[in-house]
Structure 1
Amino acid sequence: MREFIVEADGGSRGNPGPAGYGAVVRDAATGETLTEAAEFLGVVTNNVAEYRGLLAGLRAAHALDPTARVHVRMDSKLVVEQMSGRWKIKHPDMKPLAGQARSVFPPDQVTYEWIPRDRNKQADRLANEAMDAGAKGEQWSPSQSRADLAATAPTADETASPPDETAALPDETAAALPDEAAALPGEEDRPPSGQAHSSAPGWSAAPDLGAPATLVLLRHGETPLTPQKRFSGSGGTDPSLSAAGREQAHRVAEALARRGTIQDVVASPLARTRETAAIVAARLNLDVTVEDGLRETDFGAWEGLTFGEVRERYPDDLNAWLADPQAHPTGGGESFAETAVRLAATRDKLVAAYPGRTVLLVTHVTPIKTLIRLALGAPPESLFRMELSAASLSAVAYYADGNASVRLFNDTSHLRP
């Protein structure tokens, strides 16, 4: 598999002000420059220019080889941390651009690295060339004379990121938490060039978002442990469906066949989900793809026990688990915080793999509740306030700007006689 290095930069003389970006694609093995890109953007912010540079670099790499692995290097800590998933993207101008960047390659093909500005000179030079050309009313092209442009090019300091981008903000110094990075202070609330501004939180007025990726979330049918309300995660006995569970799977299969909207089926690797998925997929004439990230939480020593039995045997551990999403079940199971990180990565992988499609995910209680919680931006304790029945259906639509819309939760109407 080929490997590329993408170096990208963006600058704005005024923030917002006349702006441009530059991007370079190199062969990772030889260091050879394979292609360059640059563009004058008009009046936008520095951060918008940085994201536009990233997007251009990824698209240029994709045009060379869509199967390649890509290592992105940028001097914008904001972009690197947000695209790596360690900082949350809150600014409305950034979300559509980040969504477009994530959609160019599957997430597992791209990695990100922050580098100092003096190691990003080629992309910085291209961004300056684009801004110089724009100031003259010209379009940048790779055939332009470097000498002519160098005569009027500003120093690196003139296009340096403003202090509020690269300085460690109070929220950003705690960015070990995946969702902690605020929109930067002082940025103008203006959309990127050619895009409409969001009219309300959670909704986008941009015309080019396209159809969302819709994840239809199916909890597996009953197992012998389900009516007894026993902990049944990925570290237990891996039970199969009961007779009642198989009947539930057939009922949901008929309901989904009537709707006729499911295009793909993806299942957790555990027996109860694979069996449920097989029954549904056979009815829909589809294949099943197994995704390990959809597995249930590992409940450690609590596997197979009821809540009351856990309360009796491990009261302190249970109290800690109920109070803190970082706490682990007895015996080294998986915390809810760890489950959330796994599910967020799995969600991003699937949304990128199935753009504009309606995909049935056959999974478990905690993954479904976690995906709903993340879509709503709800706190971790909301997991304990959701009821999710066996063989129930929920649905979330994911748009290219990073926004999500919960469309259905715990629907069991198909199970009624």
Structure 2
Amino acid sequence: MSALRVVVEADGGARGNPGPAGYGAVVRDANSSEVLAERAEALGIATNNVAEYSGLLAGLRAAADLGASEVEVRMDSKLVVEQMSGRWQIKNPGLRPLAAQAATLMRRFDLVTYVWVPRERNKHADALANRAMDEAAGLASGARGGGEAAGKAQPATGGVRPVAGKLRPEQGARRLSGASGERGQPRPSWEPPSATPTRLLLVRHGATAFTAQRRYSGRGDVPLSDTGLAQARATAARVKALAPTVAAIVTSPLVRCMRTAEVIAGTLGGEVPVEVEPDLVECDFGEWEGRTFSEVRAQWPDEMDAWLGSTEEAPPGGESFRAVATRVRRVVATLHKGYPESTLVVVSHVSPLKILLRDALAAGDAFLHRLYLDPAGLSIVDMWADGGVAVRMVNETAHLA
């Protein structure tokens, strides 16, 4: 069965900003443009931006329900597209829970991309959103601006399926705050979780000769240096102190990771299975492999700028971070399903581990260039069956002192 690729068209608006608000979302087959699903709902009183994010969430949920593996999101909201692509910061605290929910949903797909389109190319979702705003205006009688179009609101066009359900204004406010936990999303809370998570102890391999020489080290099978082997032993002792019971050690197939994993397994008593996972291999740096950072900057300045500016760009002859993310998410989903309520050690490289932590923290792509992971550094991520995620620790290196 071939993978399902879909396009999500989403929109939202408010008549008053804030005012009676609603959203619309359409899911199309990426090849035929056939409409596979429609979603629309009145939100009560909300802002344009909240309604736009709500449309995005509805579209992603619908795509997930259809079993899609790849999603291209098209919206005429520059704000949502740029924020979810990681190029703009989310300064409005009211939007951060919605963006976090979207990031959680994105982990259900192999690939999600965002594309800005002009409003005239988003007419279907816009029409659904306007019908939802009509519903919201009727619900919020006496609400400011209830009878006047404002912001993105326009007269609804004909031929659109009626809105699926209504919300009272106070219901809309609760739902958009992220407090309802509806549609299977984990309910945000300050309370410590009571269930047992699947815990991932993330270990970057120990140092190699390339580490000391500041060279790109991707698919080249560079062994641990003496320093790296000592680091692996120190990390193994720390892992044993943190997790005396480990279900499995999962490692990249490259020797620097496999040797690190073997040292950890030996320290844990030699009975913990070591599983090789090809998808945990480092990014393929192509023509940059083995070259120093300064050499690459001097010889490929434009290509490096493009690579640093977009996860869709790849080094010449190499692999993009978007491609790395696809396989890393596949590994995480497999481990989460295969080892419920268990502790695992994951031994990998800088790029896969950064991407895993970025997804766990619902961060943007800029995170990848701002996080530093030391050789043999240790991070911890917990994952619960209801979709909840907690990052317990990032790049601990006290054991290396």
Could you say whether these structures have the same fold, taking a TM-score greater than 0.5 normalized by the shorter chain as the test?
A: yes
Amino acid of the residue matched to residue 259 of structure 2? E
Amino acid of the residue matched to residue 204 of structure 2? R
Contact 1:99 1:402 in 2 (8 A): no
State the Cα distance separating 1:243 from its structure 2 match. Answer: 7.0
Tell me how far apart the structure 2 counterparts of residues 53 and 32 of structure 1 sit (CA, whole Å).
19
> Match for residue 255 of structure 2?
271
Cα distance 1:266–1:95, how it changes in 2: closer, same or farther (>3 A)?
A: farther
State the Cα distance separating 1:10 from its structure 2 match. Answer: 0.4
> Match for residue 393 of structure 1?
378
> Match for residue 104 of structure 1?
105
Say which is worse superposed, 23-32 or 50-59, in terms of deviation: 23-32
Amino acid of the residue matched to residue 396 of structure 2? F
User: Which runs of structure 2 are paired with 1:314-329 in the superposition (5 Å)?
Assistant: 328-329=296-297
Amino acid of the residue matched to residue 153 of structure 2? T
> Match for residue 6 of structure 2?
4
> Match for residue 86 of structure 2?
85
State the Cα distance separating 1:40 from its structure 2 match. Answer: 1.0
1:409 and 2:391 equivalent? Answer: no
Cα distance 1:378–1:120, how it changes in 2: closer, same or farther (>3 A)?
A: closer
Cα distance 1:290–1:401, how it changes in 2: closer, same or farther (>3 A)?
A: same
Tell me how far apart the structure 1 counterparts of residues 277 and 127 of structure 2 sit (CA, whole Å).
45
State the Cα distance separating 1:301 from its structure 2 match. Answer: 9.4
Amino acid of the residue matched to residue 287 of structure 1? E
Tell me how far apart the structure 1 counterparts of residues 62 and 355 of structure 2 sit (CA, whole Å).
35
Cα distance 1:54–1:236, how it changes in 2: closer, same or farther (>3 A)?
A: closer
1:354 and 2:332 equivalent? Answer: yes
> Match for residue 200 of structure 1?
none
> Match for residue 176 of structure 2?
193
> Match for residue 188 of structure 2?
206
State the Cα distance separating 1:15 from its structure 2 match. Answer: 1.1
Amino acid of the residue matched to residue 354 of structure 1? V
Contact 1:100 1:401 in 2 (8 A): no
Amino acid of the residue matched to residue 410 of structure 1? T
State the Cα distance separating 1:6 from its structure 2 match. Answer: 1.6
Relative to the length of structure 1, the TM-score reads: 0.60
Tell me how far apart the structure 2 counterparts of residues 278 and 379 of structure 1 sit (CA, whole Å).
28
Contact 2:10 2:75 in 1 (8 A): yes
Cα distance 1:291–1:232, how it changes in 2: closer, same or farther (>3 A)?
A: farther
Per-residue CA deviations over 1:364-401 (Å, capped at 9, x if unaligned) read: 57987999999899997996xx9x4x534244779999
Contact 1:397 1:406 in 2 (8 A): no
Cα distance 1:97–1:2, how it changes in 2: closer, same or farther (>3 A)?
A: same
Per-residue CA deviations over 1:301-327 (Å, capped at 9, x if unaligned) read: 985xxxxxx9xxxxxxx8xx5xxxxx8
Amino acid of the residue matched to residue 277 of structure 2? T
Tell me how far apart the structure 2 counterparts of residues 209 and 27 of structure 1 sit (CA, whole Å).
41
Cα distance 1:298–1:274, how it changes in 2: closer, same or farther (>3 A)?
A: farther
Tell me how far apart the structure 2 counterparts of residues 264 and 136 of structure 1 sit (CA, whole Å).
57
> Match for residue 171 of structure 1?
none
Q: Which of 136, 144, 153 is the matching residue for 1:159?
A: 153
**Which secondary structure state, in structure 2, belongs to the residue aligned with residue 354 of structure 1?**
helix
State the Cα distance separating 1:262 from its structure 2 match. Answer: 6.1
Tell me how far apart the structure 1 counterparts of residues 115 and 152 of structure 2 sit (CA, whole Å).
23
Q: Which of 274, 277, 284 is the matching residue for 1:289?
A: 277
Tell me how far apart the structure 1 counterparts of residues 350 and 104 of structure 2 sit (CA, whole Å).
28
Tell me how far apart the structure 1 counterparts of residues 88 and 227 of structure 2 sit (CA, whole Å).
44
State the Cα distance separating 1:363 from its structure 2 match. Answer: 4.1
Cα distance 1:10–1:370, how it changes in 2: closer, same or farther (>3 A)?
A: closer
State the Cα distance separating 1:36 from its structure 2 match. Answer: 1.4
Tell me how far apart the structure 1 counterparts of residues 224 and 282 of structure 2 sit (CA, whole Å).
18
The two structures, once aligned, show a CA RMSD in angstroms of: 5.2
Contact 1:11 1:19 in 2 (8 A): yes
Cα distance 1:112–1:336, how it changes in 2: closer, same or farther (>3 A)?
A: closer
Aligned residues: 339
Cα distance 1:9–1:244, how it changes in 2: closer, same or farther (>3 A)?
A: closer
Amino acid of the residue matched to residue 239 of structure 2? L
> Match for residue 217 of structure 2?
234
Say which is worse superposed, 341-350 or 231-240, in terms of deviation: 341-350
Contact 2:110 2:326 in 1 (8 A): no
State the Cα distance separating 1:111 from its structure 2 match. Answer: 2.4
State the Cα distance separating 1:94 from its structure 2 match. Answer: 2.2
User: Which runs of structure 2 are paired with 1:136-151 in the superposition (5 Å)?
Assistant: 136-137=138-139
Tell me how far apart the structure 1 counterparts of residues 49 and 55 of structure 2 sit (CA, whole Å).
10
Q: Which of 24, 30, 37 is the matching residue for 1:28?
A: 30
1:71 and 2:72 equivalent? Answer: yes
Per-residue CA deviations over 1:224-250 (Å, capped at 9, x if unaligned) read: x38x94445426963323577557546
> Match for residue 114 of structure 1?
116
**Which secondary structure state, in structure 1, belongs to the residue aligned with residue 258 of structure 2?**
helix
Cα distance 1:263–1:335, how it changes in 2: closer, same or farther (>3 A)?
A: farther
Contact 1:267 1:273 in 2 (8 A): yes
> Match for residue 184 of structure 2?
none
Cα distance 1:353–1:79, how it changes in 2: closer, same or farther (>3 A)?
A: farther
State the Cα distance separating 1:113 from its structure 2 match. Answer: 2.0
State the Cα distance separating 1:93 from its structure 2 match. Answer: 2.3
Tell me how far apart the structure 1 counterparts of residues 191 and 310 of structure 2 sit (CA, whole Å).
26
**Which secondary structure state, in structure 1, belongs to the residue aligned with residue 103 of structure 2?**
helix
State the Cα distance separating 1:11 from its structure 2 match. Answer: 0.7
Contact 2:73 2:115 in 1 (8 A): yes
State the Cα distance separating 1:101 from its structure 2 match. Answer: 1.9
Amino acid of the residue matched to residue 398 of structure 2? D
Tell me how far apart the structure 2 counterparts of residues 210 and 63 of structure 1 sit (CA, whole Å).
29
Tell me how far apart the structure 1 counterparts of residues 248 and 305 of structure 2 sit (CA, whole Å).
28
Contact 1:74 1:113 in 2 (8 A): yes
Relative to the length of structure 2, the TM-score reads: 0.62
